[in-house]
Amino acid sequence: MRVLGVDPGLTRCGVGVVEGVAGRPLTMVGVGVVRTPPDAELGHRLVAVEQGIEQWLDEHRPEFVAVERVFSQHNVQTVMGTAQASAVAMLCAARRGIPVALHTPSEVKAAVTGSGRADKAQVGAMVTRLLRLSAPPKPADAADALALAICHIWRAPAQNRLQQAVALHAANATKGRTA
């Protein structure tokens, strides 16, 4: 199972691709950050996020996309940007027929650290360990994107198997290759 995790944001949108199945060691396929200039017009920033996500989808052909579920109890301005960036990520995936899953920050933290209230350093440390990296991915948005992908692989219940088979079949039919 190859999953693209997206930690949505307009200034920094974390992206990370992880491959593997629950119960087996996982592999990091790629990690990075899609950045857009804070002083650019909102419309142009959204276009830049779209182009960045499209590149990651083109290059890594994930079978699933896991996006952080946005809540609005935080800073108003940040939340709007996060919601808008997450909309673009979901749109890009859905347009290709890739199943999109949303996971809350606490679900992600609980999945990789055992605690839904773990801090960023703890998440970074566990991502580093679980993916057998030499150092924690920087910035935190990149590590969070990997954590989202790991969370999705581990949380994927048995009933996802059918959905996965359908997605794989569609990917093969469209692209003539398996990721």
The residues binding its own copies (CB under 8 A) are: 41-44, 46-47, 50, 70-73, 76, 79-80, 83-88, 90-91, 93-95, 100, 102
Round the CA-based radius of gyration of the chain to a whole number and report it.
Answer: 15
Is residue 65 within 8 A of residue 14, CB to CB? The reply is no
Selection from 131, 173, 129 nearest residue 149 by Cα: 131
Question: Is 7 labeled as catalytic in the residue annotation?
Answer: yes
Q: Is 144 a catalytic residue?
A: no
Residue 7 annotated as part of some ligand binding site:
yes
Q: At its nearest, how many Å lie between its own copies and the CB of residue 97?
A: 10
Of 6 and 147, nearer to its own copies (C-beta) is: 6
The CA distance from 141 to 16, in Å, is 9
Give the chain's end-to-end CA distance (angstroms, integer): 9
Q: Which is nearer to its own copies, 47 or 168 (CB)?
A: 47
> 54 a known binding residue?
no
CB of 25 to its own copies, least distance (A): 30
Tell me how far apart the alpha carbons of residues 113 and 125 are, in angstroms, rounded to a whole number: 9
Q: Which residues are annotated as a binding site?
A: 7, 68, 141
Binding residues for Mg(2+): 7, 68, 141
Active centre residues (catalytic): 7, 68, 141
